[in-house]
Structure 1
């Protein structure tokens, strides 16, 4: 059985994640972008947030794993929880001054199931500027401190979100809906549950820190993700420990929406 996480420690961690998002917002206009060896964008904000949140988790919680995009850390198979951090999901758009980015911390249980999330998107929201999503393991999902439930008309993909490489990988010949592209996997995945008129998501290959927090939120409202070939999505060693991107693309939404997406928007 998993250890119950201390409530005061979770409150302190949530405050740190939300504050990290707000600090990133303040720094955004001053950012200088640089590049990793693989050509992806990185900023000084990514590194600063990674150091800060890793330190907070280490101070507040014993015997947990933490995986961060920017920092290699040890991993214990018997740890009760694994925290997965993306200091800035959407670094490219963040570095260009756009609003669609987020600080995202997901929580996996001992069985590698996403069960918790803290997501700070301080230039994004639902009719207001700032979105802070919080899902403590075993608790209700809240957004900006209020209990959240999605609308129920979510079973056919009239509007979807998608990564910017989707046009190369998916067959659009039967899809007649609308597509939204924001530049953040976390926000793409959250959109079907956040916004009344977006029903699904198609996400292309990326890393565990790009999806873990949003996946937990989706599961909490009865949605899920599934590979486009119909196989279930799992957090295997290659994805979680070897830090390899998942493949192929996946659909996100209700089971009925995922089935519809497979019919109207299959992979090439």
Structure 2
């Protein structure tokens, strides 16, 4: 497949996900709890329908590719090319009617994230990256469809930084203590966002995102977007973020180093 064909295919996946999910948003859609007995972890008919639709198209088009998805597990996860899908990242926001959720579609090549898209069907935004560059597509102030390059903001002083986490409730006690050390030094701390928080970092509106307990499907698609915008994303110990875990993303290396030191308690 040529680069043009590949781009067109990913756009097709994004269109399909949007068309499948959007009719469910802000309706009386119910949800089930995947984590009975623990913290509420909802899944909806929209999650299942979107991932099933994406998987069908990928398997029909690339039968030798692997797929890792939140709702239906993995097939051929050791293939050279593996698609990583999160049909609705931010399901809690979705069922609450809040627009801070998105569809994550990522592609690994030999285990490395090489392409990622975050689609927000309600706001009709797309954040796209290949690790070398990243772009945003959406409606501009003139209400016309537009495209612009994403560029993360450089902030080398945590005291001037805006940081985001989805919710302090998602941290284990010792990890919450580590996050609070970072939060105490920051100029502004905001909660909520899920994948949208990472997109705002890539767009230059936030300086740092700190999360804990992410899965591969929560982060793989976002890595090429963040890095393509000039940002940095790793685990709390500075390792690869591809497999998920405790994740920190920053707009620049100076801030990233400060945050890592505080998370480690240095």
TM range (shorter): 0.7 to 0.9
TM-score, length-normalised on structure 1? Answer: 0.80
CA distance in 2, matches of 1:116, 1:107: 5
State the shift of 1:139 in Å.
Answer: 7.0
CA distance in 1, matches of 2:15, 2:215: 22
CA distance in 1, matches of 2:108, 2:165: 24
Instruction: Pick one of 190, 215, 218 that aligns with 1:180.
Output: 190
State the shift of 1:138 in Å.
Answer: 7.5
CA distance in 2, matches of 1:211, 1:142: 18
Aligned equivalent of 1:53: 54
Partner SS, residue 195 of structure 1: coil
Q: How does 1:52-201 map to 2 (within 5 A)?
A: 52-77=53-78, 79-110=79-110, 112-123=111-122, 129-135=123-129, 137=130, 140-144=133-137, 146-150=147-151, 152-157=153-158, 158-165=161-168, 168=173, 169=176, 170-172=179-181, 174-184=184-194, 186-196=195-205, 198-201=206-209
Structure 2 alignment gaps of length 5 or more: 138-145
State the shift of 1:226 in Å.
Answer: 2.3
Contact kept? 1:13, 1:56, Cα under 8 Å: no
State the shift of 1:45 in Å.
Answer: 0.0
CA distance in 2, matches of 1:66, 1:188: 25
Contact kept? 1:115, 1:216, Cα under 8 Å: yes
Aligned equivalent of 2:143: none
Moved more, 23-32 or 206-215: 23-32
CA distance in 1, matches of 2:131, 2:33: 38
State the shift of 1:29 in Å.
Answer: 1.9
Distance 1:174 1:133, change over 3 A: closer
Contact kept? 2:16, 2:53, Cα under 8 Å: no
Partner SS, residue 204 of structure 1: strand
Contact kept? 1:18, 1:132, Cα under 8 Å: no
CA distance in 2, matches of 1:95, 1:215: 26
RMSD: 2.5
Aligned equivalent of 2:227: 219
State the shift of 1:171 in Å.
Answer: 2.9
- The structure in which a higher percent of residues are strand is 2
State the shift of 1:257 in Å.
Answer: 1.6
State the shift of 1:44 in Å.
Answer: 0.2
Partner SS, residue 98 of structure 1: coil
1:199-242: CA deviation from partner (whole Å, max 9, x where unpaired): 111111121111111112112123222232x331254xxx4xxx
Partner SS, residue 73 of structure 1: strand
Partner SS, residue 83 of structure 2: strand
TM-score, length-normalised on structure 2? Answer: 0.80
State the shift of 1:260 in Å.
Answer: 2.2
Structure 1 alignment gaps of length 5 or more: 124-128, 240-244
Matched, 1:261 2:259: yes
Contact kept? 1:14, 1:118, Cα under 8 Å: no
Distance 1:213 1:195, change over 3 A: same
CA distance in 1, matches of 2:58, 2:260: 39
Contact kept? 2:164, 2:189, Cα under 8 Å: yes
